């Protein structure tokens, strides 16, 4: 792999890591590392009929250049390596340290929302209304989504299609969508254990979703970028109820070796408030570090 492709793969690795952790957006990492516009352009080119006509006429090299093939392949390798290497870690921490893990996620999401809020300029009545709509949508999705969602192939496909779309949106995490759809643990477990049927269905959903959505995203951000980001901000804020560290007392009890089936036992659960606050602050600090790094990169590119 060429030196430039290695750098792209490394950026893909960080994007993949961001997409595994709810709260850090892969799209944000792409913006910070300066490859976001090329990702959108590459994906958009895959939806242009002319591009495929070139391939069908035997012009593979021209087709490869047209879709930025070397760039996309390097990026994909980095993302895949990252996701498979971190999935087992996420599965372990959620099973054995759920309060600290969700507190960390909570901090990540709060900090990301704060940065989104800061980056949106010119607040007025219209912007406030769009934010309220986003918050209401986030709360509605979280409260209407059942704790247990189906493991059927069609729902896994749908999860992949929706999650991959948000993975390329700055400010919102694809894994956060999996949390809302109650499929984060399930998909992380499938990746960790290399459950091929589940991964194939999920991957197919991702492929169809990103190809279908990239062109729409190109159009949406070109015309309604501010409104889109405001609704996403509201959605993230409204969805925070889903990542509250103490929302699943059953999982917390299990991690502490307590039988949650006996109601009296729940009183003996250690809430670990101190640890939760610490990990929440670590999550906030991590996003702050990513933001500072992004500013430095942006300043270097200007100079």
Q: Which of 80-84, 171-175, 298-302 has the lowest mean pLDDT?
A: 298-302
pLDDT, residue 294, reads 65
pLDDT, residue 17, reads 77
Using 50, 70 and 90 to split pLDDT, how confident is the model at 156? very high
pLDDT, residue 302, reads 59
Asked if pLDDT for residue 210 goes beyond 70, the answer is: yes
Asked if pLDDT for residue 157 goes beyond 80, the answer is: yes
CB 102, CB 33: distance < 8 Å: no
Cα–Cα distance list, 134 to 27, 127, 229, 234 (Å): 19, 11, 10, 4
pLDDT 10s digits, 75-108: 889 888 888 888 888 878 888 888 998 898 888 8
CB 138, CB 184: distance < 8 Å: no
Q: Go through the chain and tell me how many residues it has.
A: 303
Cα–Cα distance list, 247 to 111, 264, 280 (Å): 20, 18, 15
pLDDT, residue 80, reads 87
Residues with Cβ < 8 Å from 85, sequence gap 6 or more?
none
Asked if pLDDT for residue 168 goes beyond 90, the answer is: no
pLDDT, residue 26, reads 74
pLDDT 10s digits, 47-61: 778 888 888 888 888
CA–CA dist 252, 97 (Å, integer): 8
Asked if pLDDT for residue 202 goes beyond 90, the answer is: yes
Using 50, 70 and 90 to split pLDDT, how confident is the model at 243? confident
pLDDT 10s digits, 123-144: 889 889 999 998 898 888 777 7
pLDDT 10s digits, 283-298: 889 888 877 776 666 5
Total-model pTM = 0.67
CB 187, CB 178: distance < 8 Å: yes
Handedness of CA 115, 120, 122, 124 (dihedral sign): negative
Cα–Cα distance list, 104 to 116, 224, 296 (Å): 19, 32, 25
Q: Could you tell me which residue, 167 or 248, shows the higher pLDDT?
A: 248
């Amino acid at each position: 792999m060429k030196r430039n492709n290695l750098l792209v793969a490394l950026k893909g690795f960080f994007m993949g890591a961001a997409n595994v952790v709810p709260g850090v957006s892969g799209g944000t990492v792409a913006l910070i590392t300066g490859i976001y516009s090329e990702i959108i352009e590459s994906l958009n080119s895959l939806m242009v009929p002319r591009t495929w006509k070139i391939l069908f006429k035997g012009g593979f090299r021209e087709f490869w250049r047209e879709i930025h093939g070397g760039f996309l392949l390097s990026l994909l390798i980095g993302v895949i390596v990252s996701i498979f290497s971190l999935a087992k870690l996420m599965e372990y921490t959620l099973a054995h340290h759920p309060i600290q893990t969700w507190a960390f996620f909570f901090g990540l999401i709060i900090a990301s929302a704060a940065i989104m809020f800061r980056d949106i300029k010119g607040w007025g009545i219209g912007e406030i209304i769009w934010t309220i709509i986003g918050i209401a949508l986030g709360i509605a999705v979280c409260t209407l989504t059942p704790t247990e969602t189906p493991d059927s192939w069609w729902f896994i496909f749908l999860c992949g299609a929706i999650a991959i779309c948000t993975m390329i949106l700055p400010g919102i995490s694809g894994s956060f969508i999996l949390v809302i759809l109650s499929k984060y643990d399930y998909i992380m477990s499938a990746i960790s254990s290399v459950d091929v049927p589940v991964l194939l269905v999920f991957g197919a959903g991702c492929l169809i979703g990103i190809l279908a959505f990239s062109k729409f995203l190109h159009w949406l951000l070109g015309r309604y970028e501010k409104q889109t980001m405001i609704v996403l901000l509201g959605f993230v804020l409204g969805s925070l109820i889903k990542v509250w560290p103490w929302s699943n007392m059953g999982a917390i009890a299990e991690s502490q070796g307590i039988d949650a089936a006996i109601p009296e036992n729940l009183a003996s659960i250690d809430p670990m408030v101190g640890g939760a606050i610490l990990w929440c602050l670590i999550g906030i600090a991590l996003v702050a570090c990513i933001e500072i790094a992004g500013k430095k990169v942006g300043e270097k590119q200007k100079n």
